[in-house]
Amino acid sequence: GQQLNQSPQSMFIQEGEDVSMNCTSSSIFNTWLWYKQDPGEGPVLLIALYKAGELTSNGRLTAQFGITRKDSFLNISASIPSDVGIYFCAGLGNTGNQFYFGTGTSLTVIP
Amino acid sequence: GAVVSQHPSWVICKSGTSVKIECRSLDFQATTMFWYRQFPKQSLMLMATSNEGSKATYEQGVEKDKFLINHASLTLSTLTVTSAHPEDSSFYICSASGGRLRTYEQYFGPGTRLTVT
């Protein structure tokens, strides 16, 4: 399968700080999705991006579809303890309807 | 959003037995369902893609005779792990897309924790 690399791998931040993470691929994707996964649960969709350059917000979350179509970024503003979890990006390629997931970014928010 | 359920949420079985996991889309018709496997602290690995009424498409390295997938209706897909062994112990997650959802949106079930003893 295709490899999507996320960075950073893990983050430890103070409550109230802003968070930035990104996802890069060697291949072009037509759609990017961002998910959050809590321990022992399935991933929950946060934001979907469908066009290169698109910037989309969902509350305190903002995600961007990179112009090259090989990357995407997720920002979380004013973090709170419930933001804790693992964030995954997922990309949809040109063939078929399979999504490929990134390696994940683990976020810990310190109250 | 959309709701996808999985049953059971966890299961323990003995080596050599088979286990069936159900994935249901509760409020939309899922023309496509995906099955993933996730090891602790790792990403999701796509196992197979199934379209309603068709045979599943398996990813490279996934044994189709071991992981039987059936997608007989627009709201139900099943994954059967046959002759399970301890190395099959993992977190299995399904997702679904189609119907009223935007193109290529997929929603995940809560996962099933399988432990093979």
Q: Which residue of B has its CA nearest to A99?
A: B46
Largest CA distance in chain B: 41
Q: Is B63 on the interface with A (CB under 8 A)?
A: no
Strands B112-116 and B10-13 turn out to be: parallel
- Rounded CA separation B2/A45 (Å): 10
3-state secondary structure of A98: coil
CB burial of residue B85 (10 Å; 0-12, 13-18, 19+): exposed
pLDDT at A106 over 80: yes
pLDDT at A4 over 80: yes
Q: How many CA atoms, within 13 angstroms, populate the side-chain half-sphere of residue A74?
A: 33
* Band (A97; pLDDT cuts 50, 70, 90): low
Whether B49 sits inside 8 A of A96 (CB atoms) is yes
Which two tokens mark A84? 């804790």
Cα–Cα dist A59/B82, whole Å: 44
Q: Which tokens is B96 given?
A: 């679904």
Q: Which of A99, A100, A106 is opposite residue B106, by nearest beta carbon?
A: A99
Instruction: Give the dihedral sign, CA A110/B9/B29/A98.
Output: positive
- B95 in A contact zone (CB under 8 Å): yes
In tens digits, chain B (117 residues) has pLDDT values of 789 999 999 999 999 999 999 999 998 888 889 999 999 888 899 899 998 888 899 998 999 999 999 988 999 999 999 999 999 999 999 999 887 776 667 889 999 999 999
**Contact residues on chain B for A100, CB-CB shorter than 8 A:** 46
Q: Render the burial of A42-70: b for 16+ CB within 10 Å, e for the rest.
A: bbebbbbbbebebebeeeebbbbbbeebb
- What local confidence, expressed as pLDDT, does residue A2 receive? 67
A88/B44 CB distance under 8 A: yes
User: Looking at residue B105, what is its pLDDT?
Assistant: 77
User: Is any Cβ of chain A less than 8 angstroms from the Cβ of B42?
Assistant: yes
- Chain A residues at the B interface, defined by Cβ less than 8 Å, are 1, 31, 33, 35, 40-45, 48, 50, 88, 92, 96-104, 106
